[in-house]
Amino acid sequence: MLGLGGRKSPLVWVMHLSVLLLVVLWTLPTAGLFITSLRTADQISVSGWWTALSSAERNAITRTPDGSAETQVGDRYVIAGNVLKNGGEVVAFGRSSLKPTQFKPGEVADLGDGITLSVKADGSYELSGPTKLEGGQRIFYTARTPPAFTLGNYAHVLSANGMLRAFMNSLTVAVPATVIPILIAAYAAFALAWMPFPGRSLLIAIIVGLLVVPLQMSLIPILTLYNDIGKATAVDAHGVIGTLMHYSGLGQMSDDGTQIGLNPKSYLGVWLAHTGFGLPLAIFLLRNYMVGLPREIIESARVDGATDFQIFTRIVLPLSFPALASFAIFQFLWTWNDLLVATVFLSHQQDSLVMTGKLKDLLGSHGGDWEILAASAFISISVPLLVFFALQKYLVRGLLAGSVK
Amino acid sequence: MADLIMKDVAKAYGEVKVLSNINLDIKQGELIVFVGPSGCGKSTLLRMVAGLESITSGTLSIDGRVVNEVPPAQRGIAMVFQSYALYPHMTVRDNMAFALKIARKSQDEINAAVENAARILQLTPYLDRLPKALSGGQRQRVAIGRAIVRDPKVYLFDEPLSNLDAALRVATRIEIAQLKENMPDSTMIYVTHDQVEAMTLASRIVVLAGGGISQVGTPLDLYERPENEFVAQFIGSPAMNLLPGEIVETGPETVVRLSVGGLVRTAVPTRDSDKGLKVNVGARPEDMVPTEADEHLFEGTVGITEALGEVTLLYFDKKGEAAQVIAKLPGIHAGLRHKTLRLAADPKKIHLFSNGRSLLYR
Amino acid sequence: MFGKFLTAVAGLALVAGAASAADLKFKPGTDPQRFHWDSYDAFAKSHKLDGQTLTIFGPWRGEDQTLFESVLAYFEAATGVKVNYSSSENYEQQIVIDTQAGSPPNIAVLPQPGLIQDLASKGFIQPLPDDTKQWLLDNYAAGPSWVTLSTYKDKTGTPKVMAFPFKIDLKSLVWYSPGNFKDAGYKVPQTMEDLKALTEQIVKDGGTPWCIGLGSGGATGWPATDWVEDLLLRMQPPEVYDGWTTNDVKFTDPKIVDAIKEFGWFALNDKFVDGGSKAVATTDFRDSPKGLFTSPPKCYLHHAASFIPSFFPEGTKLGQDADFFYFPPYASKPDLGRPVEGAGTLVFITKDNPAADAFIDFLKTPIASEVWMAQSSFLTPLKTVNVAAYANDTMKKEGQILLDATTFRFDGSDLMPGKIGAGAFWTGMVDYVGGMSADNVAAEIQKAWDGLK
Amino acid sequence: MLQQLITAGLTIAVGITAAFGYFYGSNILLDLIFPSKAPGDRGTRNIRRAGVIRPWLFVGPAVLALTLYLVYPVVDSIWLSFHGRDGHEFVGLKNYIWFVGDARIRAAFLNNLLWLLVVPAASTFLGLVSAALTDRIFWGNLAKSLIFMPMAISFVGATVIWKFVYDYRAANQTQIGLLNAIVTWFGGAPEAWITVPFWNNFFLMVILVWIQTGFAMVILSAALRGIPEETIEAAVLDGANGLQIFFRIMVPQIWSTIAVVWTTITITVLKVFDIVYAMTNGQWDTDVLANQMYVWMFEGGGDYGRGATIALIIMLLVVPIMIWNIRNARREMEGR
């Protein structure tokens, strides 16, 4: 469109190049993470991820086995082995941390007392001496290794106990926590956009104001409320309602096992919490979209005899599909990536841990394992990305269908 | 049966009065056209009939039932919108069936109604298309079909042709006229700003101006005997010429001396007391004829001429403060440009207005 | 029908759960030279609580969680209690929310006495039985230090023994590579003066003496507080240290500022630190010890607590590839003896039930410690344990330091109010290595502390 | 696992059905109570009554949820902000006086202003540019997906990613941080980016911009597609060049959407603390109010009074945007 009117090739090129630049800038950090997730912890800490494809020269230390591994060759005692485990080539070696590259491959280093050490380019070494050896000798070597990648990090993360469970838990949290707020927000947004009633603009103002409430502020009051509700709803644990609550997972048994009340830490609680926290933005975005729908279409439906409820379900809802789809994506991303709400409103038992919580767990109590972090970050974004790509098609289609004005 | 009566209907948005004193009595089978310049409130009035705008005061009754508070769907009306307002996510069939589905009609009934309407409007081949796959005229027909399907007491049209090109507009206009012909019992209210549409379609025209009704009447009534300068100028194209002057002779025939110089005799009767009254003399361009006689309405130099084939429009050079005078002569008149021409008119076709109101209606 | 189906499903799940609980790492009765099985049997006999449940919330996750759960398995097997252990990334915040909202676990475990004091003063912690104090004095080395650590003021301000120290980490350690020391001909220093001389010697030889990393995400700065605390204990009598943690001795006191400056002697000299002083604050503390093991070595010395071997490169053998020495005292201050700084976790009851009481009793048995000791990363000052149970010599050596300590002091920053010990102090240390003067840093921290009063 | 599957499926189904059921059921109920088909005036009156009640049926659940989950905590916070650290002892305005006087808070406040200026502007602008450009090229959808991708990454993941960009190693060592690798490749000296005073704020902001651009792009792209082609063609005929068309014709037409995006991002900026918390925890003068709020509310046992005070001030900061939005909403309503 911008290139209308002939002579468009330079402009088109500029356009392609600038999009390319944007895309590269935007994917580079993630690409780095992805490559990092395919490297071992040692590789990560010694070289940048962009060097992963070139063969790397790296200094390393290894230790020969102790004396029990020696063999006798002629009159000398020998311990042999190979410093390289994954192929590559030794370019230098040494016997002391002070001069780790003192010798060329194949040279023989004198360790004193007639003991010698030699390392060949293929990594094989030989420690030999005239008397019995103690072994445990450190060998410093510089190896050139071809690029190597590992799926070990992913295997580690995926094989972690309870990962499938955590995945299910995340879905159980995220799906209703996406659908419920959208449903509630869509009705509210419709009323706020198209149904006149007193106090409407005040309500809109309040909702915009609530957008900014930091959810950390709500945690304690809400959890307290949940606990109170749990206590207030306590009934006999072995009655009909009690049994029902027990098997539905909604109930929480009291310590002595005689009473059961609504569990303050249940999926219901998390859904509602996510709903409450997600609503302001959902209403804000959806109302803004719905207000923009052609007014005559809604009036036409009204003249056709549709009630407000029918106008909403048959006209506004289908026409708002693009907005609903985009918000669904956002809300799903938030609930999927959320850790705080889930840890506060679900118990932190293993069996109710969500993915984010599980991944955090994997990092160990001190964190800092970048290779695990990288792999787990990639696993955790795979679902949101899948959702995005799946919904994107509908998003575009919906946008085109909606543009009849 | 389906009479529609407006009594002292008014509309205000807070302090701003949009419409007031609307009194109108529409009989079953009429096609009433609301015309008026943009912003005169004609669409608002229509939407009040539809129930899409609340009525601030006064009563609106359909079939003798006051419907001020009745929701649109239960007023027995159907409406065709300017932008068609088709539901973009539904096929033509679903668009037309929507209202019936809402009313929980049986599927057979719905199918019959939809197919009937489609046949009338020649939409049958398009029933399963989405609106975006239709041309403008087809969309408009779907919108009309949607109204027909409901078999309403009153049809409301809100400038239905304004989004169409000229040729389609004429064609669709005739279709609407035929539609009306086929449904003699249905009442229609039609809003337009195009006076040609008004003249050709209406059984009666309601001219709205300045927040009120300016005149109500049959098209010819309005053409021949406008109540005021506004209606006089609004109906007819090009607009009626208005020339200021002063009454010099009263009686069953009146003589007016025009400030631009001419002297004109009209069939409008006046009283003696009217002598010396400042009036505007109205003469339609098509009523002006060249004359050699002394007694003439106007004399001036032809500026621009427009030859339309069957007629020629003459635009005279402006004289002082007076509005430009236009004459419409039958046939082709080449070479009149820059010529000075003297014009006269049949006294029966001359109108007199004082303070904007026609002297006929005093 | 459906109910029956659900019951069956639930039953299956229970069976699966029970199977894992029955896995005891060391079979009771085996290896009696290392384990006090008699204490286990005695405990099992006196505590029968079949069918009860116990919820525990603690800081251990990942590997530590597995280790702790292996200890819990013995408790479950002995008592029949079903234990639910859970943790969370932000456990400090979580426990605050849970207690405040009225849904605490039965037992909570925290490494921060300051936070425990906070919970105690809000009335969220149940006092331990009265005999606990005497038990600590009798059974823990440097007992009075532990009693102090276990005592907190309740809602009314009355001091009571409320928390039980279990699993101690030793600070005051300097890690090094014996091979590199041998290559360069360095000796383990016995005094602080020697350590400083060694530092200068390494520079003279063309090496870099220290790896220091303060980075720790949101907690960046804390490793420096350990330095300052260790140095303070070696420069001033313990009373100064105690006064400092309660702010009776102000941060701006020259005694404290001197300790900060002493840390600066090590950390602010570009030649003394790997990467220069600029790298100190940004290097992650988990990455910093790796410099000891590179070829050629990036540094020779690393000051860290006993848990640091978790972050050594894979395959590093303690005792052979890596070793530690006690962060030495000043020869010039012989009267200060051999002070030890440590940290550790404290167990306390947030919602009482018989199983919770039983669990505290269980922690007093030697076997509870020995099971963990025999695996890894667990030190205890409990005198009744069999030190032979320690999994390796390094741990045994560390345990010995704990038993030999003349003065034991808990990590000072953990004793301070959270806003200081886990806030202003950290920030101050980051500012200090960033170039702010010690006096200004001390003044800032003191100001923050004043702001809390 | 089977039980988990069944429970998950059931709970999802029950939760969603219940939500649908409410709206459907309540509307039917309303129609039953006030039947519109009632004869004569009663029907009319019923319709009017139902018309008064119906909007509240629609907004009801939302109002309820908002009141419970947001309004109630806000009220609670207002109450807490006048109380001491454990939330019991009344301290009057002490917390507010502390807020005004505290140097760290003041620094956080100023940084926050910087964030508020830069991040929404940069994200919206880049989002707009990428939306406009990707709409015009054949591989636009692919490009869009890639630019949107950071949106799908949790804040924890994002900070890990950016640690690999900002990582610092001393000059004589191999850089594993991308930025320093580039700098040293050009012969510069490596820098500990997140410690560079003042500019480190921008390095942190880049992360949020990186995340939010995708959000802005998706929404603005939808708006751009809604622009009538004719207006653009008219501009072409008027001789406007690409940039002029974009800024003078297209941007004004989607102004209201830009406002929405801007508002949303502004609010995200005010609330986001994860990035600062994980990257620096406010050290090296990078603190922002949301981080301070978190720190005061939860760390070291928490100080509910001060935490609540900071939260309320953050809310106050949004008042101007709120007024702006209300005025927009009112203008829309007048326009119809």
DSSP B244-302: EEEEEE-BSSEEEEETTS-EEEES--B-GGGTT-EEEEEE-GGGEEE--SSS-SEEEEE
Contact yes or no for C180/C297 (Cβ under 8 A): yes
Number of inter-chain CB pairs under 8 A, B vs D:
12
Cβ B69–D48 below 8 Å, yes or no?
yes
* Sequence ranges of the domains in chain C: 2-170+343-410, 173-338+418-450
> Do B241 and B285 form a contact (C-beta atoms < 8 A)?
yes
Q: Which residues contact D260 (CB under 8 A, 6 or more apart)?
A: A284, A285, A288, D219
Residues B74 and B188 in one domain: yes
Domain ends where: B233, B260, B277? B233
CA distances from B246 to B240, B277, B294, B318, B361 (A): 19, 6, 18, 20, 19
pLDDT tens, A56-71?
Answer: 777 888 888 877 778 8
**The pLDDT of residue A402:** 38
Instruction: Determine the Cα–Cα distance for residues A245 and A251; give it in Å rounded to an integer.
Output: 5
**Interval B105-121: pLDDT, tens:** 889 989 998 998 888 88
Give the integer Cα–Cα distance in Å for B11 and B34: 16
The verdict on B11 and B151 lying in the same domain is yes
Span D232-266, pLDDT tens digits: 778 877 777 777 888 888 888 888 788 888 888 88
pLDDT value, residue C437 = 93
Nearest CA in chain A to B88: A404
Are the beta carbons of A366 and C286 separated by less than 8 Å? yes
Q: Is the pLDDT of residue C5 over 60?
A: no
CA distance B116 to chain A (A): 18
pLDDT of D40 reads: 63
Give the closest of C92, C93, C122 to D86, CB-based. C122
- The pLDDT > 70 percentage for chain A reads 86
* B253 in the same domain as B197: no
**Confidence check: pLDDT of A15 > 80:** yes
Give CATH superfamily name and number for C173-338+418-450: Periplasmic binding protein-like II (3.40.190.10)
Pairing state between β B298-307 and B351-354? unpaired
Which chain C residues have a beta carbon less than 8 Å from that of D280?
A: 220
Phi then psi for B231, rounded to 5 degrees? Answer: -65, -40
Q: Is the dihedral of CA A316, A317, A321, A324 positive or negative?
A: positive
Q: Which two tokens stand for residue D189?
A: 């000296």
Phi/psi of residue B221, nearest 5 degrees: -50, -50
- Smallest Cβ distance to A348: which of C7, C86, C102? C86
C107 close to C349: Cβ distance less than 8 angstroms: yes
Beta bridge partners of C323: C176
- Considering the domain architecture, whether residues B227 and B277 belong to the same structural domain is answered as no
Residue-level pLDDT at D123: 95
The alpha carbon of B8 is separated from its chain's Cα centroid by a whole number of angstroms, namely 22
The answer on B246 and B218 residing in a single domain is: no
- Cα atoms found within 13 Å of the Cα of residue C206, Cβ hemisphere only: 5
Residue A325 tokens, joined: 């789809």
**Beta carbons of D151 and A225 less than 8 Å apart:** no
Report d(CA B137, CA B120) in Å as an integer.
15
- Which of B211, B233, B255 is the last residue in one of the domains? B233
What tokens does A212 get?
């900014």
Of the options 3.40.50.1100, 3.40.190.10, 3.50.50.60, 2.30.30.240, the CATH number for the domain spanning C2-170+343-410: 3.40.190.10
Taking Cα atoms as reference points, which of B277, B278, B246 lies closest to residue B262?
Answer: B246
User: How far, in Å, CA of D173 to CA of D193, rounded?
Assistant: 16
Residue B116 shares a structural domain with residue B255: no
Largest CA distance in chain D: 92
What mean pLDDT, rounded, does chain C reach? 86
Give yes or no: residues B136 and B205 share one domain. Answer: yes
**B83 contacts on A by Cβ (under 8 Å):** 294, 296, 405
Does any CB of chain D come closer than 8 Å to the CB of residue B64? Answer: no
With 50 as the cut, is the pLDDT of residue C19 above it? no
- A226 vs C6: CB contact, 8 Å cut-off? no
d(CA B329, CA B307): 10
Give the 3-state secondary structure percentages of chain A, helix then strand then coil, rounded to 5.
55, 15, 30
Which stretch, A361-365, B140-144, D26-30, has highest mean pLDDT? B140-144
Rounded CA separation C106/C357 (Å): 10
Amino acid at B11: K
Q: Are C230 and C341 in contact (CB under 8 A)?
A: yes
CA–CA min distance D33, chain B (Å): 18
Q: Does the pTM exceed 0.90?
A: no
Q: What are phi and psi of C346, to 5 degrees?
A: -120, 135
pLDDT tens, chain D, 336 aa long: 566 677 767 777 877 788 788 888 888 888 788 776 666 667 677 777 777 888 888 888 899 999 988 899 889 888 888 988 777 788 888 889 888 888 888 889 999 989 989 999 999 999 998 888 888 788 888 888 888 888 887 777 787 788 888 888 777 777 888 888 888 888 888 888 888 888 889 999 999 999 999 888 888 887 887 777 778 778 877 777 777 888 888 888 888 788 888 888 888 888 777 788 777 777 788 888 888 888 887 776 677 888 889 888 888 887 787 777 777 766 665 544
The residue among B176, B198, B233 that closes a domain is B233
CATH number at residue B210: 3.40.50.300
Whether A223 sits inside 8 A of C103 (CB atoms) is yes
Mutate to test the interface with C, among A98, A227, A372 (most CBs of C within 10 A): A98
| pLDDT exceeds cutoff 80 at B35 | yes
Per-residue exposure over A152-161, b if at least 16 CB sit within 10 Å of its own CB, e if not: ebbebbeebe
Q: In this structure, are B209 and B248 located in the same domain?
A: no
Dist CA B327 CA C291 (whole Å): 103
State both tokens at C412: 């000072």
What is the largest distance, in Å, between two alpha-carbon atoms of chain A? 109
What ipTM, to 2 d.p.? 0.77
What band does A257 get if pLDDT is binned at 50, 70 and 90?
A: low
Give chain A's radius of gyration (CA, Å).
Answer: 32
Segment 299-328 of chain A within 8 Å of chain B by CB: 299-307, 310, 314-315, 318-319
Residue identified by tokens 């290896």 is: C31
Residues B187 and B325 in one domain: no
Task: Please report the residues numbered 12 through 51 in chain B whose beta carbons come closer than 8 angstroms to any beta carbon of chain A.
Answer: 47, 50-51
Number of domains comprising chain B: 2
Rounded CA separation C113/C151 (Å) = 9
Whole-angstrom CA distances from D82 to C418, D74, D109, D305 are 22, 13, 21, 6
Contact A63, A136 (CB under 8 A): yes
pLDDT digits (tens, 9 = 90+) for B157-189: 988 888 788 888 888 888 888 888 888 888 889
Report the gap between the CA of B90 and the closest CA in chain A (Å): 9
Same domain, B141 and B159: yes
Contact by Cβ (8 Å): A402, D225 = no
In this structure, the answer to whether residues B223 and B300 fall within a common structural domain is no
**Do B202 and B247 reside in the same domain of the chain?**
no
Per the CB < 8 A criterion, the answer to whether C423 and C398 are in contact is no
Number of A to B CB contacts under 8 A, please give it. Answer: 72
pLDDT-derived band of residue A223, with 50, 70 and 90 as boundaries? Answer: confident
User: Is C272 a residue whose pLDDT tops 90?
Assistant: yes
Domain containing B163: what range? Answer: 4-233
Question: Could you tell me the end-to-end alpha-carbon distance of chain D, in angstroms, rounded to an integer?
Answer: 56
Q: Contact C213/C223 with Cβ under 8 angstroms?
A: yes
